[in-house]
Amino acid sequence: MSTELLARLQFAFTITFHYLYPPLSIGLGVLLVTIEALWLKTNNPLFHQMARFWTKVFALTFAIGVATGIVMEFEFGTNWATYSRYVGDVFGSALAAEGIFAFFLESGFLALLLFGWDKIGPKTHFLATCMVALGAHFSAIWIIVANSWMQTPAGFHIVGEGLKASAEITDFWAMVFNPSSMDRLTHTVVGAWQAGAWLMVSIGAWYLLKRQHREFARASMKVGLALSLFASVLTLETGDYSAKGVARNQPAKFAALEGLWETTPNAPLHVVGWVDGKAEATHGLALPGLLSWLAHGDTAQPVTGLREIPRDERPPVNFTFQLFHLMVGIGFAMIGLALWASWALWQKTLENSRALLWLLVISVLGPQIANQAGWWVAEVGRQPWIVYKLLRTSQGLSAVVHANQIIASMVMFTLVYLLLFAAFIFLLNEKIRHGPDAADLTPTGKLALGFKDTKGGAA
């Protein structure tokens, strides 16, 4: 295998594993804020119990997110040194801003969220939870700004030539608000909300199936489903914007998403299909005109086909096509499931419908698979470029790193991550089996102050 392919595989593996966790932190962050707000508002100890339980789940995902995130920060330099020199002036400042504005905020207030229960009052604790959630969202902003700049570079100029060439910022805000950053940011964030929300729904459904902790499960289900429904619909909306942006800014990627070879008006949209790259043909079930309409709001408008893109600037088509369709398919399934479950909850039939509950239990996989597929589409669809139209992936490698070094580190990461994943699943499973703590229905320490008025009653 070539050094390039190995370096790409290593990055893909480490980022894919890492990205199992941040969406959960972002999504659970929003949910924790919601739950604590409900607790402050209603004084219902059930919400205190929920906050404590979900905080522990949050802590578990957060720790692995941090540990695997440091790898990402180092990996730009270790495996992609030439790329790092090329983009450092632009990309680095976004990354540094992420550290200053997001990571410090997140990790600092996390201390209060996790360990501050008896040391600070409920309102301060709520503030800490808000800050952690805000920090998680800030980190999404900066990293997606940086990644979007690689998709649609803006606000820079190139200085130097050949090996010495690099991008320099000319306009910071044009870099931040590059053509794709806001569309991709919103789409990513609502995808992350789904990851957290469906985890909550899934565990709630499990308890309902087992007829355990039913109060707790019902309340979790309500909060989780509300966010699932909201976020799944927004995912469609933001996905539509993102796709229109891709059509505008990255025609090669857009053509690959749908396996479109010939530039044509009335371009078809595939529901399912298979791309034959050699014959330059796409087979499958297609709806005529719909792609033109989605891209431009008009079926008569042409959509650029792959044949107009030079051969050495085309991404792998079938791979991009399949993962894109997987993501979209799951996206629609999640909307359908959210609607169905909400309806059942409304009709009070949810707890008797075992089939639906089982579906909800496995629903946690949906957003995880779709989030990963979406990122694979975004990154593979940009190939052969590492920075679109500026720097090829093959040119971004570390000149001094050899294939055997990458293999050695790959083996290490694979073993370590398998172990981490096993421990994560084991502990999550234990946490779920253990369930919410009955004692948490009675808040202690400074938090108990919230119950002063109802002493003898709730407390």
Contact between 64 and another protein (CB under 8 A)?
A: yes
CB of 66 to another protein, least distance (A): 5
Contact between 214 and another protein (CB under 8 A)?
A: no
Within a 10 A sphere around the Cβ of 32, how many other Cβ atoms?
A: 25
Contact between 16 and another protein (CB under 8 A)?
A: no
CB of 373 to another protein, least distance (A): 26
Which of 82, 342 has the CB closer to another protein?
82
CB of 50 to another protein, least distance (A): 15
Contact between 367 and another protein (CB under 8 A)?
A: no
Which of 333, 428 has the CB closer to another protein?
428
Handedness of CA 428, 432, 434, 436 (dihedral sign): positive
Which of 92, 384 has the CB closer to another protein?
92
Distance (Å, rounded) from C-alpha 357 to C-alpha 341?
Answer: 9
- List the one residue from 25, 34, 43, 68 that touches another protein (CB under 8 A): 68
- List the one residue from 8, 48, 52, 137 that touches another protein (CB under 8 A): 52
Where does this chain touch another protein (CB under 8 A) — which range of 37-45, 99-107, 246-254, 385-393? 99-107
Contact between 101 and another protein (CB under 8 A)?
A: yes
Which of 218, 431 has the CB closer to another protein?
431
Contact between 81 and another protein (CB under 8 A)?
A: yes
- List the one residue from 108, 160, 288, 336 that touches another protein (CB under 8 A): 108
Place of tokens 């995130």: 69
Where does this chain touch another protein (CB under 8 A) — which range of 111-119, 191-199, 307-315, 361-369? 111-119
Task: Tell me how long the chain is.
Answer: 459
Tokens standing for residue 187: 């789409």
- List the one residue from 40, 169, 234, 333 that touches another protein (CB under 8 A): 169
Which of 17, 324 has the CB closer to another protein?
17
Contact 185, 193 (CB under 8 A): no
Where does this chain touch another protein (CB under 8 A) — which range of 37-45, 84-92, 256-264, 325-333? 84-92
Q: State which of positions 323-362 bind another protein (CB under 8 A).
A: none
Kindly provide the b/e burial profile for residues 101-111, where b requires at least 16 CB atoms within 10 angstroms of the residue's own CB: bbbebbeebbe
Q: State which of positions 411-450 bind another protein (CB under 8 A).
A: 412, 416, 420, 423, 426-427, 430-431, 437, 439
Which of 125, 325 has the CB closer to another protein?
125
Contact 20, 410 (CB under 8 A): no
Contact between 160 and another protein (CB under 8 A)?
A: no
Q: Which long-range contacts (CB under 8 A, 24 or more apart) does 35-40 make?
A: 35/223, 36/122, 36/125, 36/126, 36/129, 37/126, 38/223, 39/122, 40/122, 40/123, 40/126, 40/450
Which of 104, 332 has the CB closer to another protein?
104
Per DSSP, 246 falls in state H
Distance (Å, rounded) from C-alpha 27 to C-alpha 39?
Answer: 19
Contact 113, 130 (CB under 8 A): no
Q: Please count the CA atoms within 13 angstroms of the CA of 422 that sit on its side-chain side.
A: 6
Phi, psi (degrees; rounded to nearest 5) at 337: -65, -40
Contact between 163 and another protein (CB under 8 A)?
A: yes
Tokens standing for residue 260: 């479109």
